[in-house]
């Protein structure tokens, strides 16, 4: 039986624009007939995996998502004195290991453009190291890579963020990794009114006697909400993806959980300083089929005491679902708003 770990979090953000749409406004979703603020799962995962907390906990085990692997190899070859034509050709063959190289349409503007891939590839540290080592070897021996040397992808020593969030390589499906962690879009538990902040900037060197007007005018959208975030982790798949390295599995689980509870998306942080820790979290562990508890908030929570009401609703829904479906998953929670429970206890529960 598969062991699932589920995290349910409530995080309160005041005025914020953490995740923007194509117009620059905060992303939203209509739920239960009312508009809510939304933070995409992509935004959350990006913020978590690039955070100092995550990187410090798992240094040396975090991958790189890029389309410039071949370009990096080309730089090594060119810096070593290999002529440009050969350097580009050899680097392009390296890039082809990870995806389809870009076309030559912009070749005149940037000769190295064809060493980049059209799609981003998520590569592990050992794979990046293999690319660097191969480029250095080719430069030293002044020759093209062999077919065997271009087998640069690996299953061993997998990066933790690839193990968690997966990767898809259309040209090399044997090296695809199924994601062990699923992250839902976070949404506000109450109805949202997206507002516009009209702002001005003053030119410090402009004399008021000459022109009392502002040096710049602008506006930006924002909103405030208590967000519900749901994360589901297939512990067995994570263990498989990390080649049964149990120490690394537990370090990954602890780092991901703490990061999800503490790290905010980076959108408009300089404008709003909208950083927050989760006010409440519930962690579940067991072999029952996982399920979100988002249904607790289809009817929006408006007015005061949003956190207390949200906790009551989600707790009651979980109890009702367990009763109806006969589920037996263990759980633990903490409530920072009331000073009950602790982060350490949740982390220990997840990894036990």
The predicted structure's pLDDT at residue 107: 60
* Whether the predicted pLDDT of 211 surpasses 80: no
Q: What percent of the chain has pLDDT over 90?
A: 80
User: How many other C-beta atoms are found inside a 10 Å radius of the C-beta of residue 1?
Assistant: 7
Phi, psi of 284 (to 5 degrees): -120, 150
Is 96 a domain residue?
A: yes
Partnered with residue 225 across adjacent β-strands are: 13
- Predicted confidence at residue 106, as pLDDT, reads 57
Tokens of 134: 């191969």
Amino acid 95: pLDDT = 95
Model pLDDT for residues 179-201, shown as the tens digit of each residue:
999 999 999 999 988 888 777 78
pLDDT digits (tens, 9 = 90+) for 256-278: 999 999 999 999 898 889 999 99
Same domain flag for 244 and 347: yes
pLDDT of residue 314: 98
- As for how many domains the chain has, the answer is 2
User: Rounded to an integer, what distance in angstroms lies between the CA atom of residue 12 and that of residue 190?
Assistant: 11
Q: Are residues 187 and 47 in the same domain?
A: yes
Phi and psi (nearest 5°) for 28?
Answer: -135, 170
Q: Are residues 187 and 305 in the same domain?
A: yes
> Are 101 and 23 contained in the same domain?
no
Task: For residue 315, tell me if it sits in a domain.
Answer: yes
Query: Residues 115-143: pLDDT tens digits?
Result: 999 999 999 999 999 999 999 999 999 99
Mean pLDDT of 298-303: 93
Mark whether 262 and 333 lie in a shared domain: yes
For residues 45 and 104, state if they share a domain.
no
Q: 187 and 289 share a domain?
A: yes
Residues 238 and 118 in one domain: no
Q: What is the pLDDT of residues 148-175, one digit of tens each?
A: 999 999 988 899 999 999 999 988 999 9
Using an 8 Å Cβ cutoff, are 337 and 280 in contact?
yes
If asked whether residues 88 and 55 sit together in one domain, one would say no
pLDDT at 199: 76
User: How distant is the alpha carbon of residue 261 from its chain centre?
Assistant: 13
**CA torsion through residues 53, 58, 279, 41, sign:** positive
Orientation angle between helical segments 246-262 and 343-351, nearest 10 degrees? 150
Residues 253, 315 share a domain: yes
229 & 327 share domain: yes
Domain housing 119 = 65-158
Where are the strands (E) in the chain, listed by range? 4-16, 28-31, 34-39, 64-66, 121-123, 181-183, 186-188, 195-201, 216-234, 278-286, 330-335
Whether 298 and 341 share a structural domain: yes
pLDDT band at 230 (very low <50, low <70, confident <90, very high): very high
- Cα separation, 5 vs 232, in Å, equals 6
Instruction: Tell me the pLDDT of the chain averaged across its residues.
Output: 93
């Amino acid at each position: 039986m598969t062991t699932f770990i589920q995290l349910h979090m409530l995080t309160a953000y005041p005025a914020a624009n953490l995740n923007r749409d194509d117009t620059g406004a905060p992303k939203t979703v209509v739920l239960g007939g009312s508009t809510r603020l939304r933070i995409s799962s992509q935004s959350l995962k990006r913020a978590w995996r690039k955070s100092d907390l995550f990187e410090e906990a798992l240094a040396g085990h975090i991958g790189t998502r890029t389309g410039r692997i071949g370009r990096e190899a080309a730089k090594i070859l060119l810096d070593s004195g290999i002529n440009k034509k050969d350097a580009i050709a050899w680097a392009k063959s390296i890039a082809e290991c990870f995806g389809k190289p870009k076309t030559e349409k912009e070749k005149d503007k940037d000769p190295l453009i064809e060493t980049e891939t059209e799609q981003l590839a998520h590569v592990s540290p050992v794979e990046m190291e293999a690319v660097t080592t191969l480029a250095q070897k080719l430069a030293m021996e002044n020759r093209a890579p062999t077919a065997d040397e271009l087998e640069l992808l690996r299953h061993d020593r997998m990066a933790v963020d690839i193990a968690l969030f997966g990767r898809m390589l259309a040209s090399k499906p044997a090296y695809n990794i199924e994601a062990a962690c699923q992250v839902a879009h976070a949404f506000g538990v109450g109805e949202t009114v997206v507002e516009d902040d009209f702002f001005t900037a003053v030119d410090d060197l402009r004399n008021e006697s000459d022109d009392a007007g502002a040096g710049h005018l602008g506006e930006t959208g924002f909103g405030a909400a208590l967000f519900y975030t749901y994360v589901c982790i297939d512990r067995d798949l994570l263990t498989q993806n990390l080649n049964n390295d149990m120490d690394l599995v537990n370090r990954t689980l602890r780092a991901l959980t703490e990061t999800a509870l503490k790290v905010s998306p980076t959108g408009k942080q300089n404008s709003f300083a909208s950083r927050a820790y989760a006010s409440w979290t519930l962690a579940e562990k067991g072999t029952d089929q996982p399920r979100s508890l988002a249904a607790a908030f289809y009817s929006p929570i408006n007015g005061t005491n949003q956190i207390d009401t949200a906790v009551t609703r989600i707790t009651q829904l979980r109890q009702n679902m367990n009763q109806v479906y006969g589920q037996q998953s263990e759980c633990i929670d903490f409530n920072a708003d009331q000073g009950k429970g602790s982060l350490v206890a949740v982390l220990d529960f997840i990894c036990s």
